[in-house]
Every structure is written in structure tokens, then in C-alpha cells.
Chains A and B, each alone.
Chain A
Amino acid sequence: MSTLLSRRDFLRAGLAAAACTGLGLPGPVRDAHAADSFGLTQPFFANLMLNGGPDMRHLLMPPMSSQSASYGQRFWRARVRSQGIDDTLSAMDTRGQQDYLPVSDGTTHFGILARCGWLYDMWEAGKVAFVCGVLVDSSRDHELAQRSMNMGSRSSSKVSYGNGWGGRLAEVADCNVLALTNSPRRFSFGPDPADLANPDKVDMRRVIPMSDTREFGLPEADADPDWFHDYLMRGLRHYYGERRKTIPKASVYRQLFDNERKLRELGGVVDARLAQAPATPGLDALFNDGSVGYELALVARNLYDALFMHDVLDTRIASLEYGANWDTHDAQRAEIEPNLANLFGRDGALAALYAALPTDARAQLTLLIGGEFGRQLADNGGRGTDHGEGTVMIVIGEQVRGGVYGTMFPEEELDRLHEPGADIHGVNGIEHLFGAICDWVQPGAGNVVFPRRASAPLEAGVDLGGIFA
């Protein structure tokens, strides 16, 4: 079982990857500077968390209908304030027609927010799955629900902590997790190898914390040290290298020594590999023009780099987050639409990322995008929506069998539309979707990572096992 590769392995892998060649990628979205191949032959899973409970019903609206009793019209009526429109049929109709792109999977008809053109294109290409009624947690508590989602456990309590489903998956898939976040999310925390079944035990050895791939490694002393900064650099290097040999595995300081080791051992390798990275003007432009914001530009470039360095980092799992305001209790339209456009627009971060990726990386990459819970059915007095339960998770990838999984607009909601606090019911436990992703990353992993998957709630007729082609 490998955790971090040896320095020699890194260098060898880096050289091998640098020698790779591959086929070009046709199509209008391809960046002229895109690399030919990243040598990616295995599935690569990127989990992009939208903390705050995004209202996916704002992204995906039912078609407006002239029938007053229809789901479409009644739902639109319940959402006029968060949609920022007058409570008139014509306003709803106009908004629906102008700002939503009509789509269908043959059974469910709905609209995708028009500002999310790249998502629409991917849907039309059959590469997007909308998994509906996903149940993460019923508490409506952000922190608890996020923790539940990261751990892949719906039985977390306010004061219980443990390892994450990405970390467990990495253990089964025998690879590392790349934590491309400011601080590693619990998603990437691994189980204790000596006590794999214990959900409360955490082990960080497979986690590579890399909030910015272009800023990694530690400063090194000059060859001829001549002042304190050099003395400190060399002295600390020597000290850490020696001291870590005697730090017990269970020591609370162990992960800090591990941080130093990861930075020290990987830093040079990462820098060397990235020095060979193809030019990515499309991704660079995200930083330069500021259109999507620094954080999201960094998400896109980090993921690009992760795919580019997958071999030297021995990773097939990446953890990301986009921390824009998704908790839209007020002024939802003004708050959420720029965020969605930054992510899913044709000029957005994911479009730029996909344009820069070579064929093999696109073919092997699957993105899971979602938040910790959904919102309530009806909007509130602040032109926003309040915390709810069931949500939509978005799965995007060349290997994804596009479509709507679960009921996007359950008719039973009509009876509850004006009940106080009525929300979208969570009917499909996360274990099913997350487990299917695990199986895709590593066949058979789903039941190991989610041993109670079979007993998790699932809507009748839904088969998330078929979400990958």
C-alpha cells in the first residue's frame, strides 16, 4: 500500500509523464494551448463542495404553465420573491422564457438558468446527471450537515467527529487525497488503517493538503548560508528530518511533522512538474480578468494541476470547495445567480477548466457538485429561501450517464407549498450516490466506504448504480 511515494519514484514518474504524448482534442471549446495528454488512465473524482445549502431549485426551475393548478405555475408563484419578479403570470412567463433554457430528459421537463450555459451544453451532450431529493441531514444546521456530508454519515451529532468518505475511498483505492482547500475538509480525512471500521478514528497520512498548487514547498537555504534566514532554513530542515523519526504515530504533533514532510518532499517535485505544465491562457485569464473571482479561479487551476500531477501525487481524488454565499436567505436572485454563472457559465470556471484539459483528463474526470442541504419550497419575506432538507447534486463527466435521477418536482409538494417551513423532502440517502461514485473510482469500494448503503432510503424506481456508463 503506498501513501506518499519516495522522492525517486516521484522523479521517475514525473519524467515518465513528461514524455507522454496523446491525441489532440477536437471541438470549439478546446483551448489551443491544451496539452495532448495527462496520461490519465483511471477514474479521477473531484468533489466540489458548495457550503451554505445552495438552492438548486433556483438553478433548475419547472416550466411555467398557464394552468393554475399545475405544478409549474404553483411552484413559480411560491418563488416570485426569490426570483425577483412580480406576482403575475406574465412576469413569471417572461422570466421563465428569457432566463431559463428549456431541457428535458424525455420524462422531466425543466429549465436550466440561462446564465449557466456551459452546464446546459454539458447536459445537452448527455454528460450531466441531476440527482434529486438527496438527503444529507435533516437538522438544517449548516455545520452539522456539512460535517455529515463530508463524513458521508447521516448519523453525525453536534459533538461527534470522524473520518470522511473521500479518505475512506482513498484507503480502498490505495491512493492519496488531494485537499485543494484552504484547510482539508473532513471529506479527505482517512480512517485509521489499524481500525478501518471505526468511523471516529482519523488518519491524515493519505491527505496531501495543497490549497494552492503553485505555492507549495518550503524555503531552502542557499548553498552558501551567510545569515540567520539561511541558518534557520537549514537548521529546521535538519531538525525536522531527524526528529520525525522518533515522533510516535499517535502523537498529536505527528500531523505537523507530516505537514513538513509533505511540503519538503513534494514541494520540489511539484515545482518541477509544474514547470512542465502547458500554457493555460484560459485559466490564467480567470485570474487576470477577475470575472469569476480569485477563489474560483484557484479552484479551476488547482484541479487542472491536480489532474496534470495525478501520477506524481498518486492521487485520484480531489477535494475542493467554492465558498461563495450560497446561504441565500435574502436577495437570492442577486446573490446566487452570479455564483452559479461563475461556476457554470460559458465564461465560467468549469468551462475554462474543461477547455484546457486534454482528452484523457476529460474522459476520466467526474465532478460531484452540491451543498449540505436544500432550501424550503416557498420563498421567504426577504426575497430569499430558508434552510430545507432535500437537495439536488450535480454529477458531471464524460463517463456519466446524463439524466434526471429521482423525482425533480414531486407532485406531493403541491399540498405542502404553503405549509410553514415545508421543504423539499430528502428521499435518497447520500450513501447511494456517493457509493456509486466510490464504485466508479474503485469497483467494489461503495459497500466498503458505505457499509450501510443498502438500508439507506431510496426513492422507488431509482437506480443510482447506473449513473456511470
Chain B
Amino acid sequence: MTWALLVGLGGVAHAAQPAPDVGDLPGLTTVSDAAWNQLAVRKVLHTFAFGGQASDAQIARWADMPPRTAIRQMLSFDEHNLRLSPPDRTLSREHMETRPQSLRALSTLWSSTDTGNYVPTARRTGYSRADWMGGIETWTTAARVRGGNPFRHRVGFWETNFHLATSHNKTSTWQIIRAYDDTLAALAANRPYEDVIATASLTGAVTTQYGTQYNRYYDQCYCNEDFAREFHQLGFGILGSAEPDYHERVSIKNTAAALSGIYLTSTETPNEWEAEKVNCGLDGHVPTAVEVQHTLLDGGNACGKIRQLARVSIKHPESVNNLPVMIVQGIADDEVSPTEAAALRRAWRGMPKKNLLRFLRAYAVSTLFHSRARVKYITSIERFITISNLIADSNREHYADVYESWRLYWDEEMLPFRPLHEVFGHQTGPEAAGSAQIFRKHYAASTEGVWRYVEHNAYPKDWRRMLPDKGRLTVRQTAEWLWEHFIVDGQRNFGPLERAHVYALLSAGRDLAPVYQPRSPNTPVTRAQLDSEAGKRWLAATGKRKLGLESAAEAVRRDANQRIGAAVAFIIATPFMLAQEGR
């Protein structure tokens, strides 16, 4: 239980609430203990924690627990979840497990000369809040750092890049970081979800994004109603469909007035336009109570009125209908059916106090999540973070940027905090899956860019640190472990073709055709060949070969590590890395 105090915006302090129990939510049936296995655990980690960094042993322990017990350990908004993200003990001075995990704190650490900072000197300025890339770089590393909590950052990413998204095109690094930290702090304090949305709404990033700080009321409202509308639409899913005239003429207009009087001040920013602290003043604030959604908002300033409004909005029928679907669509399921949407709505309605963590935990162990009907297409950012999370065995790899964040930022042109659709959110899974260009860039990263997986000077890879039994495995065992580690499908899609290609790379360090049929290296090996008796014998024999990771000879080990890297490059270049089914 977390009982810490959260200091909110606008001078409002929030007492933290006890962490919610998973419990039953109507509409969501918890999977049986039998169905809750390692595959189920890995699917949760893939979707809700960018894969996480949990050890195989920890995954096995979670799989052995009742699902509700396990999910409480797996998903929490605490700054550290050391089961999900064990610290990197090879970095003796880092102590990430005891360091604050706010983006601000991590930005300070990684841009500093602190002896516990293992970021190479040349890369440190990129983490600074004074740097345009500061928030982007800090988040990208924070979501992967061992000793933190990738679930927090998964949800934080959705909240700030999709739900109430702001764009670095219009906002400063300081504003982005402060908004992110304030939102996550509200979640960590287990505040009711409407409070979290209100907190996010009253950040410098949102205020600057929408120009709300210019809303002033002097006899009449000199206001824009941009955020006044999006507070309802994006924040709560309320379009005002039942009474459009009232929504337009009363609710939107008065929300704009309620937002009047806000001004920004600097805590640490050098320029006023970058200021990150929201103040809700009386000068220029509407002097009376205003009616929104048939409720008189009588808070004394914008902060008071918006927090009051949030408590009304969360109960609005459209919000009850849309918000749970928006959350699940945004994080876990790109193809929510009407039946599934109805179940999610029932679950949401079943929480008298809306709590995001309780909802996500209940959903993550539900038959709805672990259903074959669920489809999640993987976005560029999810893919990059997940793959590098699953490959890296040390924070040093991220600090050295072995997995090349420039490919994500500048090749795929996907930067955290610079949403593709501005306030309407970042690249969605279906957009990523539909884009041939994104496919092409990812494909090129595994082919033209394969060297980072097989031979990186900054961090020579030793797969003994990751593989079971310190890598004393056969080709087959290694292939199956790698497939399950990255693809997480119970080897459903690891058929003879996939197996043969991965075996060839692992056993010979070559592609399949020259290994299987040396005289025809440019002729594809067919499924029929592999299904033949000769093909089956080849697979069986090749699968039994040893990799050589345990060899005393360094050259042999190096060669084995390169072959594993090539196999990883192949596996993640298959379509099965780019989408996930529920079961």
C-alpha cells in the first residue's frame, strides 16, 4: 500500500489512496489458474510493460501463482518494481533501485557527472532538460532501465502521448517532463481516475499546447475553446451527443470560462514561454460559478472548477461508455468488438470509484485480454522499446544506445512526446501495421542494421547472461527460447519454416538455403521440402547441435554470440513481432 502524499498542481495537495485490490469487476472474468501460465504472463508483460525485464524464474513464479495475486505484483504504479525490473548489479555505483524514477530525476542523473551515472559523457547533454531531446531521450531510456518500472512508463506514455497528448512541437521539455511526472504521481497515489485526468489537464504542457493560459474573463470571455472541448472529448470521451446544443452553447463555452485566469510560472526554466508550473489565478478568472453538464461549478479558480468538473464528467453516460473502450483500445486491443466493448463498460460501471490500476489489473487477467479475438498491432515506439528491453541484459546497452534510438526517432520519424497526430495521439498500431514505410524501416534495421545485434563494439554481447542454463543449450532449445522470448505466442507461429531459418542461423551463421542445399543457395527452401522425411531429419539433426557458448575458446563464443544475434534479427523481422494475438 502506498500512503505517500502527492503534491498536486495549483497548490492542491492530494492524499494518496490505498492501492486497489484486483477483485471482481462485472463483465471481466478472471482466467482460470490452468489458463494462467507462463505464456499468459509473458503476454501481459509484452502489452503492459514493453516486455519487462523479469527473469525466466520470476515469470515462472508468477505463472504458478493465482492470476490475481500475480498481477498485483506485476502491475503497479510504484516507482520501482524490482520483480518486473530487477536492477543491473553489474553497475556497482548505479543503485537504480533506490533512485527516484521521475523523468525529472532521471534527466538530472543522466545528464550529470554523478559517479553513478553510466551514460557516456558524450551522450549526457541529450538527457538535459535544457536540451530539446531531453524529455524524449529520458523517457526512451526510463522505459527500459533496469531497476525501474516499465509498466509505469507504458501507461504514462499512453496518458501523455494518446489520451491527453501534447506535442513537443508546441511545448517545452520542462513542460513535458513536469506533466508526465505529475500525471504518474497522481496514478501512483491511486487517485480516482477523474483526479488523474484533472491533474493532467492542469499541466503546463496542456495549458501551453492549447493556449489556455490566454483565456481571460473581463465582462466577457476572451477565450479559445480548444481545450474546453478536448477536456470533454479527449479526456472523458464526451461528445455531447444527447444534447448537442446544450453541449456547444453551455458546456463548452462555460468550460472555456472555467479555464480562464491560468498563468504559468517558471520553477527552473530559463524562459517564460517554457514555464512548467500552472497557477490558477483570480485575475481574469470568471467571477461567478458557471454551469457545465447541468452542474454549477463554483470552485474559486480554474483549478477548483476543473477538478470539480472532472468529478462530474467521469459519471457522464458518454464517458462511462467511451472511456473504458478508449483505454483498452489505446493500450491492449486494436479490435474491440461491440460485445467486448459492452463487457468493458460493465466493468467500468462496476467501479463506483474509477481507478485505472484496478481496471487494468482486472482486464490483464481477464478472459477478454487472454482471448484469441484480441489483436494488438505494435507501434514503432512499442516495438523499439520492447525489443531492446528483451535483448538487453544491462543498462549499459541503453546508455551506449546499442539499439540505435536514432532509427526510431529519425528514420521512422517516431519520437515520444511528438505525437503523429498532435493532440489526437501518436501512431496507432493499425497505422504502424498499415504502413509499408514503417515495415521497410524495421526490415532494414534487421538487415542493413544487423551489425548492432551481432557485433557491437560498445557492448560485446554475451548471451550466457540471458539464456537458460547459461547458454548450455542445443540449437533447438535456443531457437525455441528466443522465439518465445520475443514473439510470445506459445510457438504457435514457430512452424517448420521459421524453425529451419532460425536453426540455420544458429547452427551455421548463414541463411537457410546455402545451409540446407549448398548447391542452390539462391533457391528458397520450401515448406514441402521441410515436411519431407529428409527435411524432418535435417531439422532434428540440426536442432541437436550445440551452440558453443560454453566453449573455453573466446573465438568460438564470439561466433556463437554472433549467430544468436543474427537469429534474433531474423525473428524480430518476421510479422509475428509486429502484431500479437490474445492467445
Give the CA-CA distance A461 to B420 in the complex, in Å: 41
B551 at the interface (CB under 8 A from A): no
- A387 touching B524 by the CB < 8 A rule? no
A245 at the interface (CB under 8 A from B): yes
Interface 9-mer from A118-126, A305-313, A346-354, A376-384: A376-384
Interface 9-mer from A20-28, A31-39, A137-145: A137-145
A209 at the interface (CB under 8 A from B): yes
Q: Which of B539-580 contact A (CB under 8 A)?
A: 562, 565-566, 569-570, 573-576, 578-579
Contact code string B367-388 (vs A, CB < 8 Å = 1, else 0):
0000000010100000000000
- B570 touching A259 by the CB < 8 A rule? no
**Partner pick for B437 among A207, A215, A231, CB 8 A cutoff:** A215
- Find the A residue at minimum CB distance from B425: A143
> How far is the CB of A178 from the nearest CB of chain B, in Å?
11
Indicate whether A381 sits within 8 Å of B221 (C-beta atoms), given known contacts A245-B527, A253-B576.
yes
**Partner pick for B440 among A142, A184, A263, A419, CB 8 A cutoff:** A263
> How far is the CB of A432 from the nearest CB of chain B, in Å?
23
A232 at the interface (CB under 8 A from B): yes
Give the CA-CA distance A235 to B424 in the complex, in Å: 39
- A231 touching B434 by the CB < 8 A rule? no
- A421 touching B248 by the CB < 8 A rule? yes
> How far is the CB of B420 from the nearest CB of chain A, in Å?
7
Residue numbers in A under 8 Å from B522 (CB-CB): 234
Q: Which of B420-464 contact A (CB under 8 A)?
A: 420-422, 424-425, 427, 431-440, 443-444, 446-451, 454
Interface 9-mer from A168-176, A236-244, A406-414, A439-447: A236-244
Give the CA-CA distance A142 to B233 in the complex, in Å: 9
Interface 9-mer from B10-18, B190-198, B237-245, B467-475: B237-245
Residue numbers in A under 8 Å from B75 (CB-CB): none
Indicate whether A262 sits within 8 Å of B436 (C-beta atoms), given known contacts A235-B512, A236-B570.
yes
Interface 9-mer from B127-135, B209-217, B271-279: B209-217
Residue picked from B424, B434, B446, B493, most chain A C-beta under 10 Å: B434
Q: Which of A41-63 contact B (CB under 8 A)?
A: 51
- B578 touching A256 by the CB < 8 A rule? yes
- Find the B residue at minimum CB distance from A239: B501
> How far is the CB of A159 from the nearest CB of chain B, in Å?
5
Contact code string A170-214 (vs B, CB < 8 Å = 1, else 0):
000000000100111000000000000000000010011111100
- B435 touching A228 by the CB < 8 A rule? no
**Partner pick for A138 among B244, B525, B573, CB 8 A cutoff:** B244
- Find the A residue at minimum CB distance from B169: A325
- Find the B residue at minimum CB distance from A159: B325
Give the CA-CA distance A241 to B501 in the complex, in Å: 13
Contact code string B216-257 (vs A, CB < 8 Å = 1, else 0):
100001111110010001000101010010001100110000
- B444 touching A219 by the CB < 8 A rule? yes
Give the CA-CA distance A316 to B435 in the complex, in Å: 20
- A141 touching B447 by the CB < 8 A rule? no
Residue numbers in A under 8 Å from B574 (CB-CB): 239
B513 at the interface (CB under 8 A from A): yes
A255 at the interface (CB under 8 A from B): yes
Residue picked from B443, B501, B570, most chain A C-beta under 10 Å: B443
**Partner pick for B435 among A211, A215, A253, CB 8 A cutoff:** A211
Indicate whether A236 sits within 8 Å of B566 (C-beta atoms), given known contacts A329-B226, A420-B253.
no
Indicate whether A219 sits within 8 Å of B448 (C-beta atoms), given known contacts A329-B224, A381-B216.
yes
Indicate whether A380 sits within 8 Å of B501 (C-beta atoms), given known contacts A183-B434, A229-B450, A255-B434.
no
Contact code string A400-444 (vs B, CB < 8 Å = 1, else 0):
000000000000000000011100000000000000000000000
**Partner pick for B450 among A183, A228, A242, CB 8 A cutoff:** A228
Residue numbers in B under 8 Å from A211 (CB-CB): 435-437
Number of interface residues of A (CB under 8 A): 65
Indicate whether A183 sits within 8 Å of B435 (C-beta atoms), given known contacts A142-B424, A420-B249.
yes
Residue numbers in A under 8 Å from B229 (CB-CB): 140, 386-387
A69 at the interface (CB under 8 A from B): no
**Partner pick for A228 among B223, B431, B434, B454, CB 8 A cutoff:** B454
- A234 touching B513 by the CB < 8 A rule? yes
B295 at the interface (CB under 8 A from A): no
Residue numbers in B under 8 Å from A143 (CB-CB): 421, 424-425
- A183 touching B438 by the CB < 8 A rule? yes
Residue numbers in B under 8 Å from A158 (CB-CB): 237, 239, 318, 322, 325-326
> How far is the CB of A424 from the nearest CB of chain B, in Å?
13
- B525 touching A139 by the CB < 8 A rule? no
Residue numbers in A under 8 Å from B318 (CB-CB): 158
Give the CA-CA distance A327 to B167 in the complex, in Å: 14
- B436 touching A242 by the CB < 8 A rule? no
Give the CA-CA distance A382 to B512 in the complex, in Å: 63
Q: Which of B467-520 contact A (CB under 8 A)?
A: 493, 497-498, 501, 504-505, 509-513
- Find the A residue at minimum CB distance from B523: A238
**Partner pick for A159 among B226, B244, B322, CB 8 A cutoff:** B322
- A232 touching B446 by the CB < 8 A rule? yes
- B248 touching A140 by the CB < 8 A rule? yes
A257 at the interface (CB under 8 A from B): yes
- B446 touching A236 by the CB < 8 A rule? yes
Q: List 15 A-B contacts (CB under 8 A).
A: A140-B229, A140-B248, A158-B322, A183-B438, A216-B436, A218-B440, A225-B521, A236-B443, A238-B513, A242-B497, A255-B433, A263-B439, A381-B221, A382-B224, A420-B253
Minimum-distance CB pairs A-B, first 3: A235-B511, A381-B222, A256-B575
Beyond A215-B440, A232-B446, A380-B224, 14 additional contacts (C-beta under 8 Å) are A139-B241, A140-B229, A143-B424, A159-B341, A182-B431, A225-B511, A228-B454, A232-B566, A235-B505, A238-B513, A239-B574, A242-B525, A263-B440, A381-B215
Enumerate chain B interface residues (CB-CB to A < 8 A). 210-211, 214-216, 221-226, 229, 233, 237, 239, 241, 244, 248-249, 252-253, 318, 322, 325-326, 329, 336, 341, 375, 377, 413, 420-422, 424-425, 427, 431-440, 443-444, 446-451, 454, 493, 497-498, 501, 504-505, 509-513, 521-522, 524-527, 562, 565-566, 569-570, 573-576, 578-579, 581
